[in-house]
Structure 1
Amino acid sequence: MNWVETLIIIVAALLLLLMIRTPVAIAFTFLNIITAIFIWGGEAGLIHVIQSIEGSLTSFSLVPIPLFIFMGEMMFQSGIAPKMIEAVDKWFGRLPGRLSLMTVAGGTLLSTLTGSSMGSTAILGSTMLPDMRNKGYKDPMTIGPILASGVLAAMIPPSSMGVLLASMGGLSIGDFLIAIIVPGLLMATIAAVYLIIRAIIQPDLAPTYEIKHISLKEKLSHTVIYILPLGLIIFLVIGLIFLGIATPTESAALGTLGSAILAAFHGRLNMETMKKSLVGTIKITGKILFVIAGSRLFSEILSFTGVTRNLISIVQDINLAPIFILLMLIAILLVLGLFMDGLSILMISLPIYMPIAGALGFDPLWFGVLILVCIEIGFISPPFGLGLFVMKSVTKDTSMGRIYAAAFPFVALYLAVIALIILFPDIALWLPSIMSD
């Protein structure tokens, strides 16, 4: 069997398993085991599967994943996140689209705590949506900003998806977490500017309302209590990596400790909070580690059968400029995002994409950032973006059609961010280039 037939059979079998709703980790594991037995022989294939899984999951670089997830779970289960959003609210004046802008600002801060797009979307939906609707805000200025802000959780550290992509793609986790900061902030800025412009052009979408006067003393006190401690956690997680003082694992551990202290400070660190946080962490971490193990074995199978080598050769022989090949790769990711979740896309694309990127001379950090942005666009892309269904669970009285319509402008805005990162690579590479070793 040549490499083309092997690739067609593997991809067809994988798509069939995903179409019958087999969980992505189980689908890949089953396919990997069957393929390993076929190409390496029965016992030898099974031994290779076990050795590959052991090699994948015994890496110290994976430790930040459960720690970052635990941070987010603790913030979610302790109820601190909504209080932080309330503190942000006190600083917003009579800006056009005030509540929509607050959603983006709150979502940006929340991203430094949750690391999960689904969790951030759920928190913002349950916290912001009722108040926005009570004030007469329409779907484009309520559902849209919530979806757009939920995406930021993967683009601003700590990002479990970022750690996963870096680990699977063979990138420095610390460098990659720093590289996604500016693109994440750019996405938030573009979303905020769009909301202001739309609120000015169509004021009926975000009606003005009477704002209660809040004294400077009250603003400062809530900032000190709810926002400044968050700044310390951000420094522990991001600042120490940037300054070269701590590794991502050490920073994740310190950030987790800081989150626990913050929950205790607010009197919300109890056995119930810890139990729910640990259970949530174990469930999510188990799924992610399953994916990592499957991805590495999948890469080895593609390499052994000659698929990776021959695909690279074909790409190098194509008489096209690298930029056009890059656009083709991005287009494939965006199409996959219409139907598949981020983990599935990572498992399918990274084993093939990263070697191709290396052959074309693309900076791996820059290329990794582009992949992550594409995956997060898929999170809010109709018809099957996970963020859309999280939003539907929060607002049961809203049709999927209305949710789709609210998401489209932000999909377009984030596509513009991809274009900017391609045109100006320093958006992704500047911060890593100045960080301390």
Structure 2
Amino acid sequence: MEWWMAAILMLGMVIGLMAICVPVAFAFLIANVVGAWIFMGGWVGVEQLAANVGEAVSSFVLVTVPMFVLMGNLFFHSGIALKIIETLDRSMGRADGRLSYISVLCGTIFAALSGSNMANTAMIGGLLLPQMKQRGYASHMSIGPIIGSGGLALLIPPSTLAVLLGSIAQINIADLLLAGLIPGLVLALLYVATIWIQVRRDPSAAPAYDVQVASTGEKLFLIAKYILPMSLVVFCVVGFILLGITTPSEAAAFGVLSVLILAACYGRLSRDMLVKSVMGTLRVSVMVFFIILASKTFSQVLAFSGATSGMIRWATAYEFTALTMLLIMFAVLLVLGMFVDAISMMLLTIPIFFPIAQALGFDPIWFGLVMLLAIEMSGTTPPFGLLLFVMQGVAPPGTSYWSIVRAAAPYLICDLILLGLLIAMPGLALWLPELRL
């Protein structure tokens, strides 16, 4: 069978099964079994595929996934997140558009503590949107900053999707986590600049209101009590990896321990909180490991059928520049994001895109971060961007879907600016990984 026929068969089976509402992991597993039967010699191929299942999910580095998920669940269920928002609210004074700025600050801090863009968006939206509506904020000054900053969790470590991408693509997860820190902070600054411009153009979109301004002493006390301790968690995850003290899996465990210590110090460590956190972690982790299993065997079948090598030859046969091919792959991810979720996108594209990127000479860590940026953008790309639906779920009644899309548009432009910066200055992503001891 020609390589392109094998590729169409495998991808067509997956897309067709998902189109009839078969869960993502099961769609890939069914396609894998059929592909192994056709391309790997019937039952012998299926048995070989089954033998590879244990290896796919037994890697020590995958311990990072449940640890990061547990860390985020402990952070939210302990109520520490709410205290951080209250502290930022008291510390901002009467600044124009203060709640919009607070949403970006919260998104940046929560991204370093949760690892989930959907959890990040839901938490900030649920806490801040009612206040914004009550204060008369326009949708582009309330919904826009929240949906933009919610996506920062994909770039700023710890990012669960970054761990998943690194595992599927078989690249260094520690380096990929570190690579997202500086670009994530740059993106947050771009969001702040966007809010500043919007406030200057239309002050009535974020009307000022009287607040009880905390004294300098009160601000310093609140920051010291609720903001600075968060640096312990960040250091346990990012700092330990950067200094070469721990592996990503060990750093994630230290991150969980640090959140537990903080929760105990704040008097918020309870049996109910622990049970909710562990059960939430169990549900997400089982899903993620099932998906990793399905994706790795999918890559093996694609490679055995000749589809992977054929697509590499096809992509490199045309006289496209490396930059043009990069933009084509980025555009494909954005288009896919209009119809499928982030995990499905990774499962479909990583086995194809990473071999092409390697053939074109792209640094795998840098390319992995570009893929994460595309996936982050796809979360706010209509018609089926998941963050758009998460936002609609927490938005006030009567908020239309298309008003959410319009509010998110300026923040998609910020994402494109960051893409341009990453292309012009790859060191933006690679500097921290190169410093790792």
Shorter chain as denominator, the TM-score bin is over 0.9
3-state DSSP of counterpart to 1:106? helix
1:193-212 to structure 2, matched below 5 A, reads 193-212=193-212
Matched, 1:405 2:406: yes
Q: For the Cα contact (< 8 Å) 1:115–1:154, is it kept in 2? A: yes
Q: For the Cα contact (< 8 Å) 1:96–1:200, is it kept in 2? A: no
Residue 423 of structure 1, CA deviation: 1.5
Residue 45 of structure 1, CA deviation: 2.5
1:417 equivalent in structure 2: 418
Residue 95 of structure 1, CA deviation: 3.0
3-state DSSP of counterpart to 2:52? helix
For residue 229 of structure 1, what is the amino acid of its counterpart?
Answer: P
For residue 117 of structure 1, what is the amino acid of its counterpart?
Answer: N
For residue 267 of structure 1, what is the amino acid of its counterpart?
Answer: G
Cα deviation 1:306-353 (Å, max 9, x = unaligned) = 111111112222112111111111110111111111100000000011
CA distance in 2, matches of 1:425, 1:94: 39
CA distance in 1, matches of 2:257, 2:21: 38
Cα deviation 1:61-111 (Å, max 9, x = unaligned) = 111110000000111111111111111222213333111011000110011
2:224 equivalent in structure 1: 224
Q: For the Cα contact (< 8 Å) 1:233–1:259, is it kept in 2? A: yes
Matched, 1:350 2:350: yes
CA distance in 1, matches of 2:21, 2:379: 18
2:240 equivalent in structure 1: 240
1:170-209 to structure 2, matched below 5 A, reads 170-209=170-209
CA distance in 1, matches of 2:192, 2:16: 41
Residue 38 of structure 1, CA deviation: 2.4
Matched, 1:13 2:48: no
Matched, 1:333 2:333: yes
3-state DSSP of counterpart to 1:373? helix
1:68-147 to structure 2, matched below 5 A, reads 68-147=68-147
Cα deviation 1:118-152 (Å, max 9, x = unaligned) = 10111001111111111111100001111001101
Matched, 1:305 2:305: yes
1:376 equivalent in structure 2: 376
CA distance in 2, matches of 1:96, 1:196: 9
The worse-fitting range, judged by mean Cα deviation, of 35-44 and 354-363 is 35-44
Total equivalences in the alignment: 436
Residue 177 of structure 1, CA deviation: 0.5
Instruction: Please list every run of 5 or more consecutive structure 2 residues that lacks an aligned counterpart in the other structure.
Output: none
1:293 equivalent in structure 2: 293
2:431 equivalent in structure 1: 430
Cα deviation 1:19-61 (Å, max 9, x = unaligned) = 1222211111111112112222343223222222111101001
Residue 17 of structure 1, CA deviation: 1.3
CA distance in 1, matches of 2:177, 2:366: 12
Q: For the Cα contact (< 8 Å) 2:122–2:390, is it kept in 1? A: yes
For residue 223 of structure 2, what is the amino acid of its counterpart?
Answer: T
3-state DSSP of counterpart to 1:90? helix
For residue 404 of structure 2, what is the amino acid of its counterpart?
Answer: I
For residue 88 of structure 1, what is the amino acid of its counterpart?
Answer: L
3-state DSSP of counterpart to 1:402? helix
Q: For the Cα contact (< 8 Å) 2:338–2:378, is it kept in 1? A: yes
Matched, 1:268 2:277: no
The worse-fitting range, judged by mean Cα deviation, of 331-340 and 211-220 is 211-220
Seq. identity, %: 41
CA distance in 1, matches of 2:279, 2:41: 39
CA distance in 2, matches of 1:146, 1:336: 23
Q: For the Cα contact (< 8 Å) 2:162–2:176, is it kept in 1? A: yes
CA distance in 2, matches of 1:217, 1:310: 66
RMSD: 1.2
Structure 1 runs, 4 residues or longer, greater than 4 Å off: none
Residue 215 of structure 1, CA deviation: 1.4
For residue 150 of structure 1, what is the amino acid of its counterpart?
Answer: G
The worse-fitting range, judged by mean Cα deviation, of 84-93 and 71-80 is 84-93
For residue 158 of structure 1, what is the amino acid of its counterpart?
Answer: P
Q: TM-score, normalised by structure 1?
A: 0.97
Instruction: Please list every run of 5 or more consecutive structure 1 residues that lacks an aligned counterpart in the other structure.
Output: none
CA distance in 1, matches of 2:38, 2:315: 28
Cα deviation 1:269-310 (Å, max 9, x = unaligned) = 111111111111111111111111111111111111111111
Q: For the Cα contact (< 8 Å) 1:168–1:295, is it kept in 2? A: yes
Q: TM-score, normalised by structure 2?
A: 0.97
